[in-house]
Amino acid sequence: MSHSRHHGHAGDVAPGDEIANSHDILKGLVGYVVGLGLAALITAVAFFIAQTTLVWGPSIPIALFVLAIAQMGVHLVFFLHITSGPDNTNNVLALAFGVLIVMLLIVGSLWIMDHLNHNMMPMNQIMQMQR
């Protein structure tokens, strides 16, 4: 009995299970190598900025934040293949939802930590209670 990778209808193929020609494979490989190069470059620049005195001190956190956003963009485009094309609408919506959840977690955690600081009993009263 012959076993075939493709069952069902001609268009019924799982993503990544399509038959690719050598041009598609080379194009994909070039994309990954470019992404790897950009990711490595951004990482090296971030380490350089953090270690050097050539950059104005107060601008270092802003520069690192911008490089972090650029790094996320490189990973999304070159490795996760999330683009704004019509076939990636669900991916972009899922990414936006994930960003919303992460932002809610960060803002909520900061809000809780700030209010814990205000509602906490002063240290001298805590020390008196332990005696």
Structure confidence at residue 8 (pLDDT)? 53
Question: Is the separation of the CB atoms in 88 and 82 below 8 Å?
Answer: yes
Buried b (16+ CB within 10 A) or exposed e, 85-122: eeeeeebeeeeeeeeeeeeeeeeeeeeeeeeeeeeeee
Q: What is the DSSP letter of 11?
A: T
Structure confidence at residue 55 (pLDDT)? 84
Structure confidence at residue 100 (pLDDT)? 93
Structure confidence at residue 54 (pLDDT)? 87
Reading the block at residue 78, the tokens are 């070159």
Q: What is the mean pLDDT of each run of 10 residues along the chain (131 residues)?
A: 52 67 84 94 95 88 91 88 76 84 92 78 74 68
What gap in Å lies between CA 68 and CA 51, rounded to an integer?
16
pTM given for the model: 0.59
